[in-house]
Structure 1
Amino acid sequence: MRWPLRGLVLAAILLVTITLFSLPQWRQPLAHTGVQKYFTWDNPDFAYFNNQFILHLASAVNNPLPTRRLLSPGITCPAVRGVATSQLIPVTDVFDAVGLEQLGYDTRPQLATSLQNASTLVVDFTSEITEAPEQVVRITAPSESYWQRSAFSFVRDSFILPLRAGPWRKAARFFSLSEPLDACVKDMLPDILPQAVALHIRTWPSDLSFGQRDPCHQNEIPVLRNVFGKCDWTGSYLYDNVKRTQLNPDQPVVIATDDREGEVIRDLVKLLDGRAHFMEMTHKCKEAIRAAHPEEEHEWRLATYWPIIEATALTRAESFVGSFWSTLSQLVAVRRSTKRTFFFQTRLQALIWDSRVALGILVIVGITYVGYTYSRRVLANRRSRLAATRKSEFAASP
């Protein structure tokens, strides 16, 4: 067989192999013929909805025990926004069960109850997660080990390293909201939002610091601290970001923030000169939620669901600008097209960050060239010294 033909055969075999292993059915966990086994985790005490969303997303993308199905611990609704006590609700109250099932979750309503007496391996650190005879493997929350690994891999793959965001973005699309919440999202400024620049402005210190004590004025993370804005912003800085991303000077701007009355927000609204809009929970939205739940749950569910609805509505905007350091902004960004999704930056920071792959390649090429040039010079000097030594030895010989 001639070499060109052999090359074609090898290329065909390689292509078929890659195709087969890329198909979903080849990447699914092995089917169980016996008792179904599960992996689950505990929600950390500090975790609001966005943190819990990241844990669910990371578990779907990187299931530590791929032969097991995922068992959600539920969604903890914290005692905030006027809610007296925290509540634990099934994950299907927030996300549609069909999408979760496709991601490997078992969403049967009575499953958690039926597994209360099942054999369970409890571990405290991610490094201790291993396959075992027990029906359930559960990692606890106090060490925050599983949360830190999940959050770090989510940010690293989705927003920092090139060519690694695909699985995260694909999985995020399966986290569609349950019917009542989806009805609310569709009712949020339906005539304005799809044409608007949406902003998420977090005015207090960020919650994404990779485990570091990282107040607003002190960003300890190398490189990233120089290319992303954090907080302590001014109205003019935010307005410059609007101008950087808008399609035209008349494009409406929808603002989501934790402090509408803050000075920076008031300054931005003045600069926008009538283009600013805020989202509110509509009467139709409230009725959809009330119709789905008992009356005694209405108050705390309305308070808990609003940030979830607001964040999902931001994914429908024509373009989005958020804070790189906010989990809410990150979860909006991962569910949107990258072409019209931005973070708060100066124009120079944005140029540097968008060109990071090309700049990285140039740095590698530059280092390689310098090393190659230096090596050639060293070798040339050695040859010259060797030639000079031989010449002197020849001249000294009788």
Structure 2
Amino acid sequence: MIFEICVRGCVFLGQRFLVALLSLSLFTTSAWTQSADLPKRTLQEVLLGFVSQAVPVQSIPGNQIVLSRSFRALADAGVFPNLIDGNKDFENRISISEKIPAKDPLADPSKAAALVDTLSKLRDDVQFGNKALDSSDAAVLAAAKLLLYANTQDTPTEAYKSYLSYSDQYKTQVTQLQQETNPATRVSIQNRISQLERDWELFGMRNEIEAALQQISDLEPASSAPLFNEWLTLLNKTDPSENIATIRDALSNSDWIRVSASSGDLGALKLTLKLDGGSFDLPQISRVSFDVTVGIMPHAFLNHPFLTNTRWRTRSGLVLSDGNVVTDDPSEILPRVASGFVIVKNLDITLSSAADRSALVSLGRSRAASLSSLTIKSKGSPEPAYQLRSISVSGPILLAITIDELAKLPNPAVGLNWEE
């Protein structure tokens, strides 16, 4: 069986680019075995299986609190409306990203706890600890301070000044990106951010400075509380409009991965065309092609160093995550997060024989339409195109979300003296 992946460029992921897929070519395999946890019964699940091959989830940049990442099909997968900004129905549809996903992918997402409300439970529950430094710890702390400060902690070194300058520029560009709505201007800002990040690492000693900051945070007495306050400030600034911004960024990206699968990989896939006036069984599918990208949400409060600081715990015994991805413990309040959106466009479906002409005529007249569970036509969405042996949906289509299983948080160091 031949599964074809044509890579045009790279996939935009939040504010970083995935370029590891440029060498993919034709290969013999079965898409059915790549995502064994998803039964391949619907078009949505079949597409997601192919996406798992085209965009391996572990190749998508994450952060140090992520243990593993997976794709999860959406129950209401389907086309976007033409105008997503200010569209309350669409905002409600993607609000799943603002909730904590259940372990069971079939659980009702409307009953999930709100992410920000859950994290706010830490506000009066965090306890800080200090550690008596041995000679090795003292040497590490001294070296970290030497990199950051010239004489006192009020006088940054030239290296730290350069780092802070890049940090300020980065924050300015990110703020502009969040406020900008023009697609072309957003792409320009995204390119500036990518270049700025490269320069920051090369000339601003980003990795070295941040390592030193983390060492000071871990070893310096009373340095954890300010981090916690910074984190709470970020949490309070969380804006649901970031979801729309993430999707807008993904849509404006010019580089998508083109995926094509022929009949051998489709497993005799047959679909039902569901319309206002009834349902029609379609002939077997002989080929499916589509473009795919993944938009990763920034979630600044999940990238903050407070979470990885090793000198805090909760008084109540609650944890964000215990680091066990197999089962959930009652003490966990954040074992996983929804981190991004899987988006498809230019979906082309070729049938092995002619469809019922009346079914296609009804498709043109119907106000809503779906292929099995995948909505291809709804109020305000682009019209699908069709011939007797083909159906095309220019899209875009919200297909799935990415789920991140989190590492152990908090993960306090041993031998700490805990404050009352």
Higher relative contact order (Cα pairs below 8 Å, separated by 6+ residues): 2
| TM-score of Structure 1 vs Structure 2, range by shorter chain | under 0.3
User: How does the TM-score come out when normalised to structure 1?
Assistant: 0.22
Greater Rg, structure 1 or structure 2? 1
Flag the structure with higher strand content: 2
